[in-house]
Amino acid sequence: MTTPVRIGVQIQPQHSPEYSHMRDALRRAEDMGVDVAFNWDHFFPLYGDPDGAHYECWTMLGAWAEQTSRIEIGALVTCNSYRNPELLADMARTVDNISDGRLILGIGSGWKEKDYDEYGYDFGTAGSRLDDLAAALPRIRARLGKLNPAPTREIPILIGGQGEKKTLKLVAQHAHIWHGFVDPESYAHKSAVLAEHCAAVGRDPSEIQHSAGVELNGGVSRGEGVKELVAKADELHAAGITLFTVGVNGPDYDLSVAEELCRWRDSIA
């Protein structure tokens, strides 16, 4: 089966003192035909003023579930370190039910040291955080199977990252969607490594949707930048990526690039 192209928008919960700006961005994204709305799981802005306005991830997803009716929602991505795996499964099940089955459970091992330090989590090492994620994923899936009421569907798990030894192995074992931070040059190799991990666990790699972020290149006019972005999306799509996500920042949440990507999606459908 051919996986349809989908467009995502990451509504970054930073630099917007008023939550209403994000509410409006989500409404506009759903109205224009965006397929997936993501936020992220951090406690402080990732760029700009490091102590600027910022909101929490999962309480926001509950609000998004009530606000919307069609668009899928999720975090790109949840930090595994911040919540007990059973609790995270329960939260995901609840948002899945509130949204009538539109949650994507995006998850990663975590990386932003300031978040850990300010909120009292043990930062550990990149390796220890990946080991923690490997231990958590079976617990999350097991708890999802025990909850009453159950999720409305098998909640899709998105794993973000591209480490060849550990992360892509976890994708092969657990994920429905792989979000790689890749360009056309590096994608083919990472995809081949993922296919090897899938073979090792007896899984068909075509079961995993491939996802990537896209953004305007700096230093060019907006018109030329959009052309380059669409050309890059064309190239990545030809290589096998079918979920394309653009990030938008507060307080204005400019969705014009997402709108262009929706037009591109519709033109190749």
- Convert the pLDDT of each residue in 77-94 to its tens digit: 999 999 999 999 999 999
Higher-pLDDT residue of 9 and 183 is 9
The per-residue pLDDT for 226 is 84
The per-residue pLDDT for 186 is 86
- Burial category of 85 from C-beta neighbours within 10 Å (exposed 0-12, middle 13-18, buried 19 and up): buried
- In the block, tokens 């994708």 appear at 171
Query: Where residue 221 falls among pLDDT bands split at 50, 70, 90?
Result: low
Q: Region 108-113: what's the mean pLDDT?
A: 97
What are 165-219's pLDDT values in tens digits?
999 999 999 999 999 887 888 898 999 999 999 999 999 999 999 999 988 776 5
The per-residue pLDDT for 224 is 74
The per-residue pLDDT for 222 is 67
**Contact by Cβ (8 Å): 214, 237:** no
